[in-house]
Structure 1
């Protein structure tokens, strides 16, 4: 009987072990819980600090609370978390090892806070993290290797921060990153090598920054970019071979609202798959010889001072055979000023490209 009592006591200690150690076994006050504490919802309930939750919790929603800072070990007792929501929490700083222990976390939402400081090591242990949202903060600098634990990172949202520069080593370790959003920052340079660690990017958004020259050295290691947005950067020209390294994959290119004045003739060398090209609201008079129209299905050209000479004849030919009839007005020569490129007779005397002679043909 004594043995049986001891055995039962041992069993009780095993079953109640977590509770004995002080781990929470009930829903935090002010919060709503579902599925045996697997989902803990504390949205806009006036919290000033992070509540303790069970290791069974998979989703923790703390949106719209005033949490201030995230100290070291903020979630040390929440090792089962897969999704963590911290949007609109007035967070200013993320301490080193703030997410320590969250080795199962896949989704981390930190959008629309006041984050200006992310300490080195802040993202330690986040080896399974796949989606990271840091948009709508005050981040001006990213330390070297800050994302290095994130070997499975797929999407990184950094839109609408205050980033001024991008340096080599920023993305060390995040070799599987595919979507990188950095729109609406203050970037004036992307240093050579700054994107070398994420050469498999498929989507790169750099619109609404302060880039005055195309960062060809930084972009040259990218291999499979499908969508690139550079609109609303004060960039006057696009150089030769700008998109060559990923040109056979690129399908969408946004170069609108830039004050863009010209393309070098070889700017589109290697670009063979483009479907959507946006060039509206610039200062363009002509298009480069290297731009092939064969795959384009969506083209915007409005609010440019187009020179309706034979250099634009390939564009007019494409318009004649396309369902897409973009709005584009001639600014010159004078007799065609104000007429639509698609309607003017300015190209009636232009000759097409001469056909190449077949091999072996005598002249």
Structure 2
């Protein structure tokens, strides 16, 4: 899995190697700084209220920290060579239909930390090469159906720290190659069945810091290859059977911390065979389900749970005894063992290991 920093470095290299276009402007736009025969135009924090004119020779336009207010239709009509566009901290409230029309070479679009409340249908028309889209830190409450449809190459989508309330089917239509979807820190209380069907190849899905009270089984049933899932800080009391089954053989990182989680259904971890990092701290758990296989786990957090140190927790203790990883976990019951570490308690000394049932083979005839 490529890291965000390596992707950005790759982008910089691509920009540096990009061939210069024809018809470059004779001089740099006023108040801006230009580099590489005007291929990079830097207009950071210079008080501009409109997008400056740059030619097709320009590959990178940095407009951060300028009070633009909005992006109207055709704002970049003469900037058809852009590969990277930086519009962070520009007080943008609205993105009009066809705002980026003509930017068919754009790969990176940064709209983080604005005041965007409205994205009109067709706003991202022509962005067929866009791979990285950053919309985090805005005020977006609703997304038009199919708004990302032109982005057939979209790889990373940052939507964290907005005001999204629910997800509807068709929201991500067309973005079939999306791999990283960040929706942390929204107000999601509902994810409609089918809302993630168009992005079944997601590898990283962040849903922490939302308002989900029920695990969104129907919305996530088509996901096949999720490697990292974060659900921490959602008011979710239980995890149902087969919650992660469709992608369980790929999932390596699972965050279920600080949720007020009270229980897992016994089959919650059915099909989960690759998990390495599991975070369960800050919940109300007393036991763990029989379907949880500890053998692949290399990082486990269990603190701030009222663990019941009875034989139902014996598989955890046996794993601790056989592993170099012995995480903190305090017994809350029975009274004799209250306050003792699970790894040190004698509460499990009389627990028997249940023999595995032998698989039935064909009957032999004599």
The structure 1 segments of at least 4 consecutive aligned residues displaced by more than 4 Å after TM superposition are 358-362
**d(CA) in 2 for partners of 1:250 and 1:187?**
23
What is the CA deviation profile of residues 296-333 of structure 1, one whole-angstrom value per residue up to 9, with x for unaligned ones? 00000000000000010010011112222111000001
How far is 1:72 from its partner? 0.3
Q: Secondary structure at the match of 2:236?
A: coil
**d(CA) in 2 for partners of 1:25 and 1:150?**
33
How far is 1:358 from its partner? 6.3
**d(CA) in 2 for partners of 1:361 and 1:79?**
70
TM-score using structure 2 length = 0.92
**What residue in structure 1 maps to residue 300 of structure 2?**
299
**What residue in structure 1 maps to residue 336 of structure 2?**
335
Say which is worse superposed, 342-351 or 321-330, in terms of deviation.
321-330
What is the CA deviation profile of residues 252-307 of structure 1, one whole-angstrom value per residue up to 9, with x for unaligned ones? 00000000000000000000000000000000000000000010000000000000
How far is 1:70 from its partner? 0.3
**What residue in structure 1 maps to residue 71 of structure 2?**
70
**What residue in structure 2 maps to residue 139 of structure 1?**
140
**What residue in structure 2 maps to residue 5 of structure 1?**
none
Equivalent runs, 1:61-210 vs 2, <5 Å: 61-210=62-211
Distance 1:361 1:199, change over 3 A: closer
Q: Secondary structure at the match of 2:229?
A: strand
Q: Secondary structure at the match of 1:175?
A: coil
**d(CA) in 2 for partners of 1:359 and 1:27?**
79
What is the CA deviation profile of residues 233-262 of structure 1, one whole-angstrom value per residue up to 9, with x for unaligned ones? 000000000000000000000000000000
**d(CA) in 1 for partners of 2:280 and 2:175?**
32
Q: Secondary structure at the match of 1:132?
A: strand
How far is 1:26 from its partner? 1.6
Matched, 1:238 2:239: yes
**d(CA) in 2 for partners of 1:262 and 1:169?**
32
Distance 1:235 1:358, change over 3 A: closer
**What residue in structure 1 maps to residue 15 of structure 2?**
none
Q: Secondary structure at the match of 1:228?
A: strand
Q: Secondary structure at the match of 1:353?
A: coil
**What residue in structure 2 maps to residue 286 of structure 1?**
287
**d(CA) in 2 for partners of 1:358 and 1:132?**
51
Say which is worse superposed, 70-79 or 350-359, in terms of deviation.
350-359
Equivalent runs, 1:308-327 vs 2, <5 Å: 308-327=309-328
**d(CA) in 2 for partners of 1:285 and 1:92?**
47
Q: Secondary structure at the match of 1:147?
A: coil
TM-score using structure 1 length = 0.92
How far is 1:353 from its partner? 2.3
Distance 1:337 1:35, change over 3 A: same
Distance 1:155 1:360, change over 3 A: closer
What is the CA deviation profile of residues 79-127 of structure 1, one whole-angstrom value per residue up to 9, with x for unaligned ones? 0000000000000000000000000000000000000000000000000
What is the CA deviation profile of residues 182-211 of structure 1, one whole-angstrom value per residue up to 9, with x for unaligned ones? 000000010000000000000000000000
- Structure 1: runs of 5 or more not aligned: 1-17
How far is 1:361 from its partner? 11
Superposed CA RMSD in Å reads 1.4
How far is 1:357 from its partner? 3.4
**d(CA) in 2 for partners of 1:52 and 1:361?**
78
**d(CA) in 1 for partners of 2:39 and 2:80?**
12
**d(CA) in 1 for partners of 2:30 and 2:60?**
17
**What residue in structure 1 maps to residue 353 of structure 2?**
352
Distance 1:119 1:55, change over 3 A: same
Say which is worse superposed, 253-262 or 25-34, in terms of deviation.
25-34
Q: Secondary structure at the match of 2:144?
A: coil
The alignment covers a number of residue pairs equal to 342
**d(CA) in 2 for partners of 1:254 and 1:360?**
40
Distance 1:318 1:25, change over 3 A: same
How far is 1:25 from its partner? 3.1
How far is 1:355 from its partner? 3.4
How far is 1:356 from its partner? 3.3
- Structure 2: runs of 5 or more not aligned: 1-21
**d(CA) in 2 for partners of 1:157 and 1:32?**
28
